[in-house]
Amino acid sequence: MHITIDHETVYTYEQPVSYSIQSLRLTPQPFDGQIVRNWSVEAPRAGLLHAFSDSFGNVTHTLVIDRLHEEVRIRVRGRVETLNTNGVVSGTVEPFPPIFYLRETDQTKPDGAIRALARVAQSDCDGELDMLHRLMGSIRDAIDYQTGETHVMTTAIEALTNGRGVCQDHAHVFIAAARSIGIPARYVSGYLLHSEAGAESEAAHAWAEALVTDLGWVAFDVANRVSATDHYVRVGVGLDYQEASPVRGMRRGGGDEALAVSVRVAQSGGAQQ
């Protein structure tokens, strides 16, 4: 499948900002289920972006603006060819051994309730893969999808306790539960094709990957109760949202900040160049 993406992020500030720096993890990389046909990350009027690979192997651009400004506008456009691998992820950049993804973070610490979800999924299951699918369903049952109820710093414990959240929260709880029973798991940011027409949304997407014996890494989109298909474009990976966030930075001054995000993901013709 050929997928086109047009993603714009705009920060506007109440007062002029004297200096800002941001890390942009907005560039997908090729692997066995994904070919990047063309891609660009631009920040008009902000100067050149400097690219490097972070510790997880994510393509990362550094955006620095050291003059007075009241707006930062970031535009991502590109086309990716995807293949349905039934959720199995192979051929990716892997700087760390799988055991690294057992590490807890502030956003993925388990409590008794999260550990209980994992134990229940383990009981009477038909192997590890079946258990993880059961876990995915249990988490989705426990956390209703509602926007505006959580924020980027919400933890897995808070999301499960509140019973409401978005894809980021579903992923964090899944990761915390999987790690609590010794299964390496990690956070993934990217894009999801919801419809061929490419309806506009206010956010990109997030899901989790867990290491399954004899299969390798497998993607689990808890919010939609499925393993990733060719409708997904994989971009960033990390232990949690903070390490795979599409845009993260700091600034001096500016007062209150307003954020506007527009994401359009659509299916395109295979002959397009």
| Domain presence at residue 273 | no
**In the predicted model, is pLDDT for residue 21 greater than 80?**
yes
Residue 40 β-bridge partners: 77
Task: Say how far apart CA 197 and CA 265 lie, in whole Å.
Answer: 8
pLDDT at 231 over 70: yes
Q: What are phi and psi of 3, to 5 degrees?
A: -120, 130
Report percent pLDDT > 70 for the chain: 95
pTM of the model: 0.94
Task: Return the higher-pLDDT residue of 83 and 44.
Answer: 83
φ, ψ of residue 236 to 5 degrees: the values are -120, 155
Residue-level pLDDT at 197 = 57
Query: Which SS3 state, helix, strand or coil, does residue 253 take?
Result: strand
Span of 43-52, 62-71, 81-90, 152-161 with lowest mean pLDDT: 43-52
CATH of the domain at 72: 3.10.620.30
Task: Kindly state whether residue 93 falls inside one of the protein's structural domains.
Answer: yes
Cα separations in angstroms, 231 against 24, 80, 256: 23, 10, 36
Rounded distance between C-alpha atoms, residue 107 and residue 244, angstroms: 13
User: Higher model confidence: residue 11 or residue 47?
Assistant: 11
How do beta strands 144-145 and 164-165 pair? parallel
Residue 104 structural domain: 2-268
Q: Is residue 208 within 8 Å of 219, Cβ to Cβ?
A: yes
Sign of CA pseudo-dihedral 181, 185, 191, 195: negative
The mean pLDDT of the chain is 94
Of 189, 175, 204, nearest to 265 (Cα)?
204
- Residues 6 or more apart whose CB falls under 8 angstroms from that of 152 comprise 168, 241, 245
What is the tens place of the pLDDT at every residue in 92-150? 999 999 999 999 999 999 999 999 999 999 998 899 999 999 999 999 999 999 999 99
Q: Is residue 38 domain-resident?
A: yes
* pLDDT given at position 272: 37
CB 41 within 8 A of CB 28: no
For the chain, how many structural domains are there in total?
Answer: 1
pLDDT (average), residues 197-219: 87
Confirm whether 205 is domain-assigned.
yes
pLDDT for residue 200: 63
Looking at residue 92, its pLDDT comes to 97
User: 3-state SS string over 120-150?
Assistant: HHHCCCCCHHHHHHHHHHHHHHHCEECCCCC
pLDDT band for position 247 (cuts 50, 70, 90): very high
Contact between residue 34 and residue 233 where contact means Cβ atoms under 8 Å apart: yes
